[in-house]
Amino acid sequence: MTDTQIFDEMWGSDDSLRAPYQKFHDWFSAEDAARLRAKQREAEKLFRLTGITFNVYGRSEAEERLIPFDIIPRIISGAEWLRLSRGIEQRVRALNAFLADIYGGQEIIKAGRLPAEMIARNEAFLPHMIGVAPPGDVYTHIVGIDLVRTGPGEFYVLEDNARTPSGVSYMLENRETMLQMFPELFSQNRVQPVQTYPADLHRSLGACAPAATTGDPVVAVLTPGIYNSAYFEHAFLADQMGVELVEGHDLRIVDGRVAMRTTRGYKPIDVLYRRVDDDFLDPLNFNPDSQLGVAGIMDVYRAGGITIANAPGTGIADDKAIYSYMPEIVEFYTGERPLLENVPTWRCSEPEALAYVLDNLSDLVVKEVHGSGGYGMLIGPTATKKDLAEFRKKLKARPGNYIAQPTLSLSTVPIFSRAGLTPRHVDLRPFVLVSPEGIRVTPGGLTRVALKKGSLVVNSSQGGGTKDTWVLEE
């Protein structure tokens, strides 16, 4: 049923049904295939009616697409999740401490645990943040940690998303769709809820309000606008939290505060959940041509008049070269060994590592250090000779722009196909909320699935889909 080299989360490595899937398997075995196919079509119709789409950049054809959804849930036991969530919490705690240090005393560099050039030459480092203490000392209010699984107890962190992690709306809509179509499954399986995420997000952001706040904190979501690939999510989260969705032209500085236009005049904002990149946030301090941000918002921020979530400058924690130092970073700030392992990583900026990568390019995955969405990467084992030749040129021209990793045997989870259950590779993006009140890891997250047989690329922009992620109660 499965390749013996690859761990299947339903069938294990030896075709033995795993315990978390037992009740689901009993239900599925008694179901009529025609009914399930009808349910799959119904799910697609629901997503279309709800308007759950994303935009694909760089395409000449219609840009807006429906994200594919598969009705077979990914199921994780409570015990597995407990171990995972502890590792995620530890990592997020270290990331936040790292950002506070990098924009503060830079003790990790003084201690020789991180080379100074990793910061000094890093385009994601924001000098404007030096000496700035965000309200509550929180830099990473919302984090997405991308995980892959290779065995029963083997999980690796693939990358950290600390700037503006996306995908939580799909996690919520996937669950809502499954609850609507298969309510009987949730009475048979004790699945931990994710539906409280918008309320948790609102409460967590409110807890990070600045000292200038009077009364209940006013929260708003800043979007670049309808042409952004994640606009659906921006609008969805604002609606679910019951807060205003604003664009740069809706905001201005009034009496030293960032205020939004309303029918009753301008109203001060305490917490701005921004989905606009640093460079476009403030034309007075960053890109002068930006029309997406607010002129002067960084000055208000530095003066303690507003909380920006996530904090400006957090992009350095997304950097894939910094990622390669995460074991040292976790140990330096927590005093503990990392509970979650990194994928072994070669930094192409180092001559020996570059030589190894060039010699073994057809076996490796190569990524841009600031890349995202599956763009600008090479998967060696499936690359053409032309792809490999082009990447050799890129690596030699700008080695510091890339890291390389081994090609992992990502676990598989069944999808529902015409032939029945068929294994496909998956990853997982759990979502984490950080506030002075603590760290909350939502049970589950977004499972992205490579719908093409044999493909390891799960990004929706590259043809991947999503499925509901169940964490069972113990």
184-197 pLDDT, tens digit per residue, is 999 999 999 999 99
- Mean pLDDT of all residues in 378-396: 91
Q: Tell me the mean pLDDT in the region 390-411.
A: 91
Share of the chain above pLDDT 70, in %: 94
User: Which bin fits 335, alpha (ψ -120 to 50), beta or left (φ > 0)?
Assistant: left
Given a contact cutoff of 8 angstroms between Cβ atoms, the answer to whether 200 and 314 are in contact is: no
The residue among 312 and 367 whose pLDDT is bigger is 312
Poorest-pLDDT segment among 77-81, 154-158, 372-376, 421-425: 372-376
* Average pLDDT over every residue of 397-406: 91
Residue with tokens 């950080």: 434
Q: For residue 326, which of 444, 440, 156 has the smallest C-alpha distance?
A: 156
Residue 461 confidence (pLDDT): 65
Mean pLDDT of 372-387: 80
Asked if residues 70 and 416 have their Cβ atoms less than 8 Å apart, the reply is yes
pLDDT of residue 371: 65
Rounded Cα–Cα distance for residues 429 and 84 (Å): 12
pLDDT (mean) for 84-98? 98
d(CA 213, CA 207): 11
- Of the listed ranges 49-53, 62-66, 216-220, 290-294, the one predicted with least confidence: 62-66
pLDDT per position as a tens digit, 236-253: 999 999 999 999 999 999
Which fold does the domain 344-407 belong to in CATH? Answer: Dna Ligase; domain 1 (3.30.1490)
Query: What is the residue type of 91?
Result: R
Task: Find the mean pLDDT for residues 88-117.
Answer: 97
Q: What is the pTM of this model?
A: 0.92
Identify the three-state secondary structure at position 451: coil
Q: From CA 427, how far away is CA 419, in angstroms rounded?
A: 23
Work out the pLDDT band at 57, boundaries 50, 70, 90: very low
